[in-house]
Structure 1
Amino acid sequence: MGKTKNTKFKRPQFSPDGIAVNSANQSVDEIEDDEDSPAAEFLDKLESPSADLREYACASISRVVQQSQIIPGFLQRDAVIKIGPLLLDHSLAVRETAAGALRNLSACGGPEVCENMVRQDVLTPLIALMRECCAGFDVNPSPAKRGQKHTVEHVANEAVNLLWNLCENSSTAVSVFNKAGLVDALLHCLEMHHQNMELALSAAHCLHTVSEENSDLVCGVNSAMFGVLDRILSSKQISMEHTLLRTLAAGSLWNLKNSLSSAQQSQTVSALVATLSHSLSLDAGELIPDLWRAESARLSKDSTSATESNHTDEQAAGHMAEAEMMEEDGKINGGKANGRKAKKNNDISDLLPRDRLELQEANALLSAQQTSLEIIVNMCCSDEPSDDEWEEMSSSDESEMCADGMTDTNSSLFSPLCLSAELHTTLLNHSIPQQVLKKAEFPSPAALEICSKHHSWKCLLKKMHRVQCRALTCLHNILASMDTDSLGGASGLQAVTQHLSSLVFSSSEALKDEEFLEAVTSALRSLLQIMASKNMPQCMTPHQLMSFCEAASRCELVSVRVNALAVLGITGSSLAKEKDTADTLQLIGNALLNVATKDPNLVVCGEALDALFDVFADGDEAEKAGKHINLLSSLKALQPGFRAKLRKEGRGKYSPDQLCVLDNIRINLKRFIGYLENLKK
């Protein structure tokens, strides 16, 4: 047991927007009430000789496909084949709305729809469109006028987001991206950040996504690409959007670092870690209230401010209703060769009304901090298959057996992450552990209050909590590689432990958030492992410990229950070395026996048994507690059932890795019973 979890993040993608122009005045409900299918109606209009009607049809499709149940009707009528050619329509408005329709189709349809779109050759017109857009930048490089409906930059933004969605969900799209040399188009869009930050951010997000684990792209990296990214990284603009742009550039540089020489890598890594540190150092708890007050002051300057503010807030509320409907927090996008699962969390930044400048700044700040934490998580990830909680790996294998057949829990409480000494030093020099610890705290009450009270700012609530979840996961991944002195020594770790344990009981909502519970229990598990390995005293009271585990046991997520049991095992094995702890060990032992006997999941039962082995392996207090709870007879009673369940359910329900671990547990159970019988003699 006691392995660290190397969670690796893929880049989040934008949620679909309603696109810039929507000539369709019908609501979705009105469309659904039409006698004719909306798919047939709108697809027919795509062939109209009128550009206005083609634009109307694309805008309407863009809107209705935000309801995923409508998508199959469009796919059955070859929507991709019919919309694709309009990416090269002579009308800029049609190009933009066509790209927006395909973008929404890809984002709301998910991986299967994206693969379908790639198979139907949507990338051919998309590649041509992106190249034409980039040529258009060179012909007319002047900034677009504010409020201008259709520009080459607007078209390019929709195209880049469509490309981003496809590459996020389709390895074939990434392969086509590489062969077509589309990285040059993205770099061209990135260089537009002085004129069009929205386009530059979309391109930065797309490059960050497509550069991850893309060996073909790494091999083709040239000095021009690094020049663009380095210039962005060294820019000094202080806006939050520029902070996000620099953060995304840092992530792309990390993904592409293997194409650099050792000397260049050292310099680049130092610069990008400094960028991440700056992003994390910004206090969202103070900046969000400041930005809200700035927006309020700006909107109240003219005599029509009240009307404008109400109208804008209602408009924003409508956008946010769409955003909340489309967000797929925690959606799993699997398929990595090494078995890691990648979390894909949609961003809603381009659903925000464009006149809410301060709200966009706040959103960019939180996106930058979330992305920074995800990059640090990836930095701390080994290239080996992840130890995804207990299910995949266990310390109870034959190589870790002591002479008496029991596992030596003191010698291998956790597996250090694979950090080079240079990277480790760089992270410490830029105070990354301290920054992560700060972000692991709940968002400030002031920021939460403002975002709760004002409807158009409510979109930030989820983003603030997502930053906290990423920080907790990041904390879990970096703890094993950090010197305890850099985290405040024993007292610092104890304070963090108390804080993390309190988070589990922070609210009833927290107990319903599986992503949060997994992150906080994983981080707490890592902390306790480190403290045990350093012989630091445990700091959770028996009441806190049992309450924590009881709360976690009610979670349906297996990994959360596993983490809670690991916490019991780590704490119990430490207490077994101290005096006058038999009463607490009895509480722990009874709790573990109860789970080992009753939990329907064999993985959880196995973790409970493994924790029992750790707690009662040695020591007078453990021996005394074991007798009081009749540990030997209880284990003998559950042994046949565990073996039978393993034979009956094993191969059909659990993975080969899990079965290997469970078989080790079966062997260890037999040996542990023998060990207890010898003690009794």
Structure 2
Amino acid sequence: MGKTKNRKYGKKNNPTGLPSVKSIELEESAGGSSPGQTPSKHEQIIQTVLDQLKTYGLDSKMCGLNTLASMTEDDSFVDSMLRHNLVRVVGPLLVDPNPPIREAAAVALRNISGMGMPEICDILVDEDVLTYVFALFEKFYSSNWIPSNGNGGSSAMEQEEACGTKKKSKRNKKYSKVAQKDDVLVNTFTQGVHLLWNLCKSSDLAVKIFNQQNIVSCLTPCLNPKVCGVDAAVAVAHCLQTLTENNEVTAHEISRTSEEVLLKILSPNFEGEIGESENTSKYLLLRVLVAGIVLNISKISPGMLPVLNMRLAVTIKDALGVNHRKSISVIHDLLSQENGSGHTSISPDDEEESNESMEVDDSLAILIEDAVSLVMAQTVAVELVTNLYYKEDEDDDWVGSESEDLPGDDMVYNDVALSCGVPEVDAILWDSGNIENILKKVEKDDVIWKKLETHPETTLLMSSVSTLRCRSLLCLQNVLPCVPDSDLRGFPGAFALWEKLVNLVCEEKTAGDAALFEAATGAMRAMSERILKMDPKSFAGNIGKAKLQVLLDVEAQCSDSNTRVNIIRTVGIMGEALVHSSTEESCELIGLVGSFLLQVSTKAEEKLWVIAEALDALMDVFAEDSTDKAAVQIGLVNSLKTLLPSLRSKQWRQRKSLGHHAAVVSTANTNLERFIEYKVTHISHVSMEH
């Protein structure tokens, strides 16, 4: 639940003095070297790192580990690294006696595990990295490891051991907040937890191995941010949310030992209770992640305290109610001030102006980090709502039924409120304001977006916002079909929302974000289905040729099959609505819809499952007798008769490769023959009139 696969973490600038892969390639390009020489440079760097890691010197090992951590941006370097079994050399350093070495090894392995390559975590598990991760926790983070200052600070001994290797930077962009005191002990723990999280969210084998270890007791105390700090608490919460999903072993263990800390974190006054007035977004993120843990446990252990379910609902609602665009707007304004103040041309001798520039930079970093935490919290919140109210597709049940009479079988919509099966959640979470709050997560200011999208400091923030927009659309796709009319403010409100989603689809068709475009079309399709059930006549009265043609044009420019099917289905739903209108224009538009769906269905190069979806929509539109005239005008029956043999042939040839699309293809094939027989008997009188 709420997983984000293969998150790619930022990497530190090269701290070792060794050349980066990109600089090597640039040098080769300038010197006229062929691209074939690049792998040899990789080999040289890897051999240097190996030599450094196998020495006894602290500085050499640190240099090698920092090089490794900073080089993982390059996929080809990582391929070479894996071929040389470099991970097997780094893994044991997680339990090195020297704290800075452990920290650097944890950072390097975390960077590798978070690269974004789907197979990388499986490779790390195969390379036995988990053995050293668990050894790290068992040896250095048992129940008595808590830092001496009780708030994330390391012990005096750890600080003294690390003293010679720490370097102050202007701004740490990777994992900790600006100006936060470096803490080797806690940071190593945090990096180790992130590494464990990356492995477990990508590898089922990693979860299985985790269940065989007694590591939960090392993690759960640090959910309390007063123990190790909020960064470590957030890391643990991320990890445990993943590990409790469909995992009875971990869920039962946390339920048995940690209800008290979960209850405390989900308290509405949590920040006030622990005396925290800053980093509110990080604490909100922590609360939402803990809500996800509680939800996972509730599904497996129904005996959870009801108050925990109530508080998880309040937490989700609180997160959805925050306007993240205000934070983004503040960052935009600060960037505009920075650009307009001439900071880019600061004289080295002007110390006062230089300090002012650094203060602006630090303020910007703090604001960005806070905004990223807020956006991540809201992303988790909408994911939780999505999973809470996930329902099987009703259409799948309908098309699979052999007992249905194809024509004239109207589906009656029951105006029933959402239900996730947890009464305490239903009573608190859902009201008319939540649809608007989720929709606000999708909206964006183009001026601000263009400014931040090109700024190097805001790359992670804008990536996180894109993820939030996509997850919010997926959430709407799940909840829109089943919300009560009152939550949508009746047909006018529902139709206004539908128009917003159609406009969003048109905007996103050229934006280049395929996942967001697909999610937008999915939400549009869900809203179309909802309005059709709510008030088909009013829907038909608001459909004109221009609106219909816009979607036909978007579909023609789209190449992704899933996205195209969402548009095809939406056009089909509009056709179904038009059947409820008896105007001449509606008959013309039904013909336009039918011609479009026929065109998709009869394309020789079209994917079979896309054809099946188009045919299913076509049969829904023309199931009523009132469409007979339009059916004759577009030659519907003859076209379908011609199509039927080729459809059967394709189904037979592709039967082993259809996968999860096999059901819709089989159903369309079966229903098509019945539909043709039915339609032939009903359009004969129309043909005779002509």
Query: Normalized against structure 2, the TM-score is what?
Result: 0.82
- Identical counterparts, % of pairs: 26
Task: Show structure 1 runs of 5+ residues with no match.
Answer: 1-7, 317-352
Q: Distance in 2 between matches of 1:424 and 1:109?
A: 36
In the TM superposition, 1:247-266 aligns within 5 A as 247-258=288-299, 260-261=301-302, 264-265=305-306
Give the alignment's Cα RMSD to 1 decimal: 3.3
In the TM superposition, 1:597-636 aligns within 5 A as 597-598=602-603, 600-620=606-626, 622-636=627-641
> Which residue of 2 is the match for residue 51 of structure 1?
58
Q: 1:484 to 1:414 in 2, by over 3 A?
A: closer
> Which residue of 2 is the match for residue 500 of structure 1?
501
> Which residue of 1 is the match for residue 100 of structure 2?
93
Deviates more, 1:625-634 or 1:542-551: 542-551
1:166 Cα deviation from its structure 2 partner: 0.9
> Which residue of 2 is the match for residue 560 of structure 1?
563
Q: Distance in 1 between matches of 2:353 and 2:509?
A: 37
Q: Indicate the SS of the match to 2:430.
A: helix
> Aligned letter for 2:576?
S
1:549 Cα deviation from its structure 2 partner: 3.2
In the TM superposition, 1:115-126 aligns within 5 A as 115-126=122-133
1:276 Cα deviation from its structure 2 partner: 1.3
Q: 1:437 to 1:125 in 2, by over 3 A?
A: same
1:458 Cα deviation from its structure 2 partner: 4.4
Q: Indicate which of 383, 406, 411 corresponds to 1:374.
A: 383
Q: Distance in 1 between matches of 2:677 and 2:196?
A: 61
Q: Indicate the SS of the match to 1:398.
A: coil
Q: Tell me if 1:671 matches 2:674.
A: yes
In the TM superposition, 1:12-23 aligns within 5 A as 14-18=7-11, 22-23=15-16
Residues 636 and 673 in structure 1, CA contact (< 8 A), matched pair in contact too? yes
Q: Tell me if 1:528 matches 2:528.
A: yes
Residues 11 and 209 in structure 1, CA contact (< 8 A), matched pair in contact too? no
> Which residue of 2 is the match for residue 141 of structure 1?
150
Task: Show structure 2 runs of 5+ residues with no match.
Answer: 25-37, 155-178, 686-690
Q: 1:451 to 1:304 in 2, by over 3 A?
A: farther
1:143 Cα deviation from its structure 2 partner: 4.8
> Which residue of 1 is the match for residue 22 of structure 2?
29
Q: Distance in 1 between matches of 2:397 and 2:221?
A: 48
Q: Deviations over 1:334-377 (max 9, x none)?
A: xxxxxxxxxxxxxxxxxxx8981111011111111111111111
Q: Distance in 2 between matches of 1:12 and 1:245?
A: 19
> Aligned letter for 1:517?
F
Q: 1:18 to 1:213 in 2, by over 3 A?
A: same
Q: Tell me if 1:639 matches 2:639.
A: no
1:594 Cα deviation from its structure 2 partner: 0.6
Q: Distance in 1 between matches of 2:43 and 2:80?
A: 12
Question: Which structure: larger Rg?
Answer: 2
Residues 475 and 523 in structure 1, CA contact (< 8 A), matched pair in contact too? yes
Q: Distance in 1 between matches of 2:304 and 2:42?
A: 67
Q: Indicate which of 283, 293, 297 corresponds to 1:242.
A: 283
Deviates more, 1:657-666 or 1:577-586: 657-666
Q: Deviations over 1:171-200 (max 9, x none)?
A: 222122222232222223322457532222
Q: 1:196 to 1:590 in 2, by over 3 A?
A: same
Q: Deviations over 1:302-355 (max 9, x none)?
A: 975754677799xx9xxxxxxxxxxxxxxxxxxxxxxxxxxxxxxxxxxxx898
> Aligned letter for 1:18?
K
> Aligned letter for 1:78?
N
Q: Distance in 2 between matches of 1:250 and 1:419?
A: 15
Q: Distance in 2 between matches of 1:186 and 1:526?
A: 41
> Aligned letter for 2:297?
L
Deviates more, 1:358-367 or 1:18-27: 18-27
Q: Deviations over 1:93-141 (max 9, x none)?
A: 2111111121122222744332232233222221222241454434453
Q: 1:426 to 1:147 in 2, by over 3 A?
A: closer
Residues 295 and 358 in structure 1, CA contact (< 8 A), matched pair in contact too? no
Q: Distance in 2 between matches of 1:489 and 1:38?
A: 65
Q: 1:193 to 1:547 in 2, by over 3 A?
A: farther
Deviates more, 1:579-588 or 1:458-467: 458-467
Q: Indicate the SS of the match to 1:624.
A: helix
Residues 327 and 367 in structure 2, CA contact (< 8 A), matched pair in contact too? no
Residues 62 and 102 in structure 1, CA contact (< 8 A), matched pair in contact too? yes
Q: Indicate which of 139, 148, 167 corresponds to 2:200.
A: 167
Residues 286 and 447 in structure 1, CA contact (< 8 A), matched pair in contact too? no
Q: Distance in 1 between matches of 2:102 and 2:483?
A: 51
> Which residue of 1 is the match for residue 588 of structure 2?
583
> Aligned letter for 1:439?
K
1:61 Cα deviation from its structure 2 partner: 1.3
Q: Distance in 2 between matches of 1:673 and 1:603?
A: 20
Q: Indicate which of 87, 91, 96 corresponds to 1:80.
A: 87
Which structure would you say has the larger RCO, counting Cα contacts within 8 Å and 6 or more residues apart?
Answer: 1
Q: 1:243 to 1:142 in 2, by over 3 A?
A: closer
1:410 Cα deviation from its structure 2 partner: 3.1
1:544 Cα deviation from its structure 2 partner: 1.2
In the TM superposition, 1:145-160 aligns within 5 A as 146=179, 148-149=181-182, 151-160=184-193
Q: Distance in 2 between matches of 1:543 and 1:298?
A: 45
> Which residue of 1 is the match for residue 655 of structure 2?
651
> Aligned letter for 1:569?
G
Q: Distance in 1 between matches of 2:463 and 2:451?
A: 13
> Which residue of 2 is the match for residue 426 of structure 1?
428
Deviates more, 1:428-437 or 1:241-250: 428-437
> Which residue of 2 is the match for residue 365 of structure 1?
374
> Aligned letter for 2:286?
L
Residues 69 and 112 in structure 2, CA contact (< 8 A), matched pair in contact too? yes
1:579 Cα deviation from its structure 2 partner: 0.8
Deviates more, 1:499-508 or 1:191-200: 191-200
Q: Distance in 1 between matches of 2:351 and 2:367?
A: 19
Q: Distance in 2 between matches of 1:287 and 1:469?
A: 19
Q: Tell me if 1:290 matches 2:296.
A: no
Q: Tell me if 1:543 matches 2:550.
A: no
Q: Tell me if 1:105 matches 2:108.
A: no
> Aligned letter for 1:408?
D
Q: Distance in 1 between matches of 2:515 and 2:7?
A: 20
Q: Tell me if 1:470 matches 2:471.
A: yes
1:160 Cα deviation from its structure 2 partner: 1.1
1:589 Cα deviation from its structure 2 partner: 0.8
Residues 431 and 487 in structure 2, CA contact (< 8 A), matched pair in contact too? no
Q: Distance in 1 between matches of 2:558 and 2:438?
A: 26
Q: Distance in 1 between matches of 2:207 and 2:108?
A: 21
> Which residue of 2 is the match for residue 593 of structure 1?
598
> Which residue of 1 is the match for residue 162 of structure 2?
none
Equivalent pairs counted in the alignment come to: 622
1:508 Cα deviation from its structure 2 partner: 5.1
In the TM superposition, 1:113-512 aligns within 5 A as 113-131=120-138, 132-133=140-141, 135-139=144-148, 141=150, 143-144=152-153, 146=179, 148-149=181-182, 151-193=184-226, 196-234=229-267, 235-236=270-271, 237=276, 239-258=280-299, 260-261=301-302, 264-265=305-306, 267-291=307-331, 293=333, 304=351, 307=354, 356-382=365-391, 387=393, 393=396, 395-399=398-402, 401-402=404-405, 405-406=406-407, 408=409, 410-411=411-412, 419-420=420-421, 422=423, 423-429=425-431, 431-440=433-442, 442-445=443-446, 447-448=448-449, 450-452=451-453, 454-506=455-507, 509-510=510-511, 512=512
Q: Distance in 2 between matches of 1:421 and 1:603?
A: 36
> Which residue of 2 is the match for residue 332 of structure 1?
none
> Which residue of 1 is the match for residue 519 of structure 2?
519
> Aligned letter for 2:597?
L
Q: Distance in 1 between matches of 2:557 and 2:292?
A: 37
1:259 Cα deviation from its structure 2 partner: 5.4
1:30 Cα deviation from its structure 2 partner: 4.8
> Aligned letter for 1:675?
Y
Residues 288 and 381 in structure 2, CA contact (< 8 A), matched pair in contact too? yes
> Aligned letter for 1:37?
Q
Residues 377 and 474 in structure 1, CA contact (< 8 A), matched pair in contact too? yes
Residues 21 and 42 in structure 2, CA contact (< 8 A), matched pair in contact too? no
